[in-house]
Amino acid sequence: MATSFQSPKGTRDFYPQDMAVRRYVEDTWRKVSIRHGFVEVDGPTFEFLDLYKIKSGDEIVSQLFHFEGRADKEGRAEHYALRPEFTPTLARMVAAKASSLPRPIKWFSLPRCYRGEAPQKGRGREFGQWNVDILGGDTPEARRQFDLESAALCLDGLRELGLTKDEVVLLWNDRSLVEHLFAIVGVPAERYPFAFYLLDRIAKLSPEQRRQLYTQNALTENETAFFEKLAAGQDPLTDAFWADLPHADVEAYRKPILDATASINAALAAMGFDGWARYDASIVRGLAYYTGFVFEIAASAGDLRAVAGGGRYDKLVEMFGGPSLGATGFGMGDMVLSVLLQEKNKLPKQLLPAPDVFIVNALDTPAAAQKLLAALRASTFNADRTAIARPGLIAITSYKASKNIGKLLQDASASGAKLAIILAPAEFERGVVKLKNLATREEKEIPLASILEEVHGALR
């Protein structure tokens, strides 16, 4: 039994190198969030199952890992689910303290999330996420700023990880522009909810399924032709799209898109992201959910899923029992991003911290080496030592019985350490040790009493 144990399918073991990559990405997300004025939050890894139905409906249940907690005195067990995303937790937390939280609420979190579905490329059953939200905004202008700040933070995170505008692109759309499109085609306003629902899933529906939906909802010939063009991936910004659609005022459709494009491009350019964004009429996923601006980050080449996605969703906090409060934000998973960073060769070569000092101990006992290790790790000078206070050094040793200095120095080099301190019996008796720079191979004798100063000097 024991030898057959594996990690569950769709999960990952993070050995030191893998973990260093994960830490690098998470630390970058955190650093960038903080300099944009966001503060970190988190919630439970599991929530009541019902919490996830509020935003996503009952159909979410089949995509979750869910389980029962301990039964109460009446024998009723509570039903929990591992979080598939952070948004319902965020909405619950904001709703609970909405009146006392300073506005705007600028929160980020780095939750680990879970999906019960079958794993695919870039899509696991456990993954990390960068979740960012801005809540509040008294005016449409303020809310517009929040949309742009959220998009700019998303791009800044990617840029900080080394990606360029040649490698990723922010594709955006807006619910109001799609409504405008519906109006031009002649979709009646009462059918907009259905039209958004249809748009959201059109790529996944078979021709037969689409035909059934058209018939059930009594779509006109015009509307049917319109949705079929979208299903075929045709772009409503092109003349070809409108060629055989009667009564279509193409310019009336294009004008607000061109205006919004100019405005968004100018704002993002001012924020340092000139040429990173593009309007894309095919960004409809989630428009049944979002109430305004919506965006995805796509890799410019290849067949990767979206790197990130987000937008404005002003009904969120109200749905979870809070006040009416504007909300905009995005989520970025670590799995597609990691594939992209590896494909584009963007990961720094050296992510594991190199030891500062390796102690080669050729003495009979470990006591002196342990004492020196402790001093190096603690090494914080005060003013009396006429040296600057500094954090502890990364100090290690081997624990071999061998006293062969040559072999121990090979271990020191293999560890990647910058310096070696050699404790040899005859020298040590004289109160002296050797300090060796493992890169230049230079070494010198120094008094044990001034070892900390010498090591800090050599590392400077």
Give, as ranges, the residues between 204 and 233 that touch a second copy (CB under 8 A): none
Contact mark string toward a second copy, 267..286, x via CB under 8 A:
x--xxx--------------
42 binds a second copy (CB under 8 A): yes
Return the residue of 26, 28, 48, 339 that touches a second copy, per CB under 8 A.
48
Neighbours of 117 (CB within 10 A): 13
Cα gap 222→105, rounded to integer Å = 44
DSSP 286: T
The H or E element spanning position 443 is strand 443-447
Q: Interface with a second copy by CB under 8 A: which range of 46-54, 243-251, 253-261, 337-345? A: 46-54
Tell the residue number behind the tokens 């996923």, with chain if given: 285
In angstroms, give the least distance from the CB of 356 to a second copy.
Answer: 8
In angstroms, give the least distance from the CB of 361 to a second copy.
Answer: 10
311 binds a second copy (CB under 8 A): no
Return the residue of 225, 260, 394, 405 that touches a second copy, per CB under 8 A.
394
DSSP E strand stretches across 175-299: 277-279, 293-299
The residues, any chain, with a CB within 8 Å of residue 400's CB and separated by 6 or more, are 408, 411
Q: Which is nearer to a second copy, 156 or 174 (CB)?
A: 156
Contact mark string toward a second copy, 52..91, x via CB under 8 A:
--x----------xxx-xx-------x-x-x------x--
162 binds a second copy (CB under 8 A): no
Return the residue of 23, 254, 385, 390 that touches a second copy, per CB under 8 A.
23
Return the residue of 180, 201, 346, 377 that touches a second copy, per CB under 8 A.
377
Q: Which is nearer to a second copy, 106 or 210 (CB)?
A: 106
Q: Which is nearer to a second copy, 170 or 195 (CB)?
A: 170
In angstroms, give the least distance from the CB of 18 to a second copy.
Answer: 8
Amino acid at residue number 111: P
Q: Show the tokens assigned to 265.
A: 């491009």
The residues, any chain, with a CB within 8 Å of residue 132's CB and separated by 6 or more, are 33, 38, 107, 108, 150, 153, 154, 310, 329, 330, 331
Contact mark string toward a second copy, 411..450, x via CB under 8 A:
---x------------------------------------
Q: Which is nearer to a second copy, 126 or 179 (CB)?
A: 126
The residues, any chain, with a CB within 8 Å of residue 221's CB and separated by 6 or more, are none
Contact mark string toward a second copy, 240..269, x via CB under 8 A:
--------------------------xx--
Return the residue of 302, 392, 425, 447 that touches a second copy, per CB under 8 A.
392
Burial class of residue 361, CB neighbours in 10 A (0-12, 13-18, 19+): buried
In angstroms, give the least distance from the CB of 99 to a second copy.
Answer: 14
Strand-pair partners of 39:
107
The residues, any chain, with a CB within 8 Å of residue 71's CB and separated by 6 or more, are 77
What's the half-sphere exposure (Cβ side, CA atoms, 13 Å) at 197? 10
The H or E element spanning position 39 is strand 39-40
Return the residue of 156, 223, 296, 334 that touches a second copy, per CB under 8 A.
156
Return the residue of 76, 118, 345, 349 that touches a second copy, per CB under 8 A.
118
- Residues 147 and 176: beta-carbon distance below 8 Å: no
How far does Cα 47 stand from its chain's mean position? 21
Q: Which is nearer to a second copy, 9 or 247 (CB)?
A: 9
36 binds a second copy (CB under 8 A): yes
Q: Which is nearer to a second copy, 126 or 453 (CB)?
A: 126
Cα gap 189→447, rounded to integer Å = 86
Q: Interface with a second copy by CB under 8 A: which range of 34-42, 167-175, 233-241, 250-258? A: 34-42
Amino acid at residue number 79: H
Burial class of residue 421, CB neighbours in 10 A (0-12, 13-18, 19+): buried
Return the residue of 367, 388, 439, 459 that touches a second copy, per CB under 8 A.
367
Q: Is the dihedral of CA 438, 439, 443, 447 positive or negative?
A: negative
DSSP E strand stretches across 161-307: 168-174, 277-279, 293-299
Cα gap 254→424, rounded to integer Å = 80
Return the residue of 75, 207, 391, 406 that touches a second copy, per CB under 8 A.
391
51 binds a second copy (CB under 8 A): yes
